[in-house]
């Protein structure tokens, strides 16, 4: 991520005021609108695999990766790995969303997505596609993100955009999804799908 910041300005202050604060405010405004509408029954928050890690605090690979494997904010700030601003923004925005939802009795569910692939409607190639193509294109900006994800997760997981859309619809339509995230342990998610 490139910044148009004054070289004398602290980068963390710049990121906070120009990226994170607006993301949190936008999310809270959306949740306030949902609350005011009195017709929204559930909100599905799209999280990211960038917010979790397959390594434990000792650097060992975990056998199961779910939402309990969330990357700590301190780790993101200390490591500042490629894509750190995106990760920090996602972590803090999701935290603020759940805080607001809990304080206002909003039914909020979060979907932790892997890297999204598939057709797109935008006039430019989405970042996720550029990240996926970077081993072929050699674009150093996106190649560094692939490397950072691989170092944290041990692989580059993909999900098709249509599957993400289906997951969002599923979570909106099923009351039992309350508090669930797609990152749940497989055996629990399977039990959830079976209705037990």
Q: What is the pLDDT of residues 57-100, one digit of tens each?
A: 898 999 888 878 899 999 999 988 888 999 999 999 999 999 99
Considering the domain boundaries, does residue 120 fall inside one? yes
* Partners of residue 52 on adjacent β-strands: 70
pLDDT class of 7 with cuts at 50, 70, 90:
low
Q: What's the mean pLDDT when you consider all of the chain?
A: 85
Considering the domain boundaries, does residue 3 fall inside one? no
Given a cut of 70, whether residue 186 has pLDDT beyond it is no
- How much is the pLDDT for 73? 93
As a whole number of angstroms, the distance between CA 110 and CA 52 comes to: 13
Given a cut of 50, whether residue 190 has pLDDT beyond it is no
- How much is the pLDDT for 125? 93
Considering the domain boundaries, does residue 146 fall inside one? yes
Q: Residue 79 in contact with residue 99, Cβ under 8 Å?
A: no
Given a cut of 70, whether residue 103 has pLDDT beyond it is yes
Residues 95-107, mean pLDDT to the nearest whole number: 94
- How much is the pLDDT for 9? 67
Q: Is 90 part of the annotated catalytic residue set?
A: yes
Considering the domain boundaries, does residue 6 fall inside one? no
DSSP character for 57? Answer: T
Considering the domain boundaries, does residue 130 fall inside one? yes
Got the DSSP string for 122-167? SSS--HHHHHHHHHHH--HHHHHHHHHHHHHHSS--EEEHHHHHHH
DSSP character for 55? Answer: B
- How much is the pLDDT for 175? 76
Domain residues for 161? 11-193
The number of distinct structural domains making up the chain is 1
Q: Using one digit for the tens of pLDDT, what is the confidence trace for 28-41?
A: 999 999 999 999 98
Catalytic residue among 36, 90, 176, 184: 90
As a whole number of angstroms, the distance between CA 90 and CA 46 comes to: 9
Place of tokens 């017709």: 39
CATH code, domain with 47: 3.40.50.720
Given a cut of 60, whether residue 128 has pLDDT beyond it is yes
- How much is the pLDDT for 187? 37
CB half-sphere exposure, 175, CA atoms < 13 A: 0
**H/E element holding 27?**
helix 21-37
Q: Residue 71 in contact with residue 1, Cβ under 8 Å?
A: no
For the chain, percent of residues with pLDDT exceeding 90: 51
Considering the domain boundaries, does residue 22 fall inside one? yes
| β-pair type (158-160, 115-117) | parallel
Considering the domain boundaries, does residue 2 fall inside one? no
């Amino acid at each position: 991520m490139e910044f148009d910041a004054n070289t004398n300005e602290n980068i963390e202050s710049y990121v906070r005021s120009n990226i994170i604060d607006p993301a949190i405010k936008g999310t809270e405004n959306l949740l306030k609108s949902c609350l005011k509408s009195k017709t929204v029954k559930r909100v599905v928050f799209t999280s990211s695999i960038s917010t979790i890690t397959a390594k434990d605090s000792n650097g060992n690979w975990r056998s199961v990766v779910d939402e309990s494997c969330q990357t700590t904010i301190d780790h993101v700030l200390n490591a500042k790995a490629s894509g750190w601003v995106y990760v920090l923004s996602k972590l803090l925005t999701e935290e603020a969303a759940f805080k607001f939802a809990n304080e206002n009795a909003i039914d909020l569910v979060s979907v932790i997505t892997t890297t999204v692939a598939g057709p797109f409607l935008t006039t430019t190639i989405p970042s996720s596609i550029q990240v996926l193509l970077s081993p072929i294109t050699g674009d150093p900006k996106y190649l560094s993100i692939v490397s950072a994800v691989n170092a944290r997760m041990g692989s580059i997981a993909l999900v098709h955009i249509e599957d993400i859309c289906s997951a969002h619809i599923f979570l909106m339509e099923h009351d039992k999804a309350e508090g669930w995230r797609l990152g749940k342990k497989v055996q629990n998610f399977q039990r959830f799908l079976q209705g037990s």
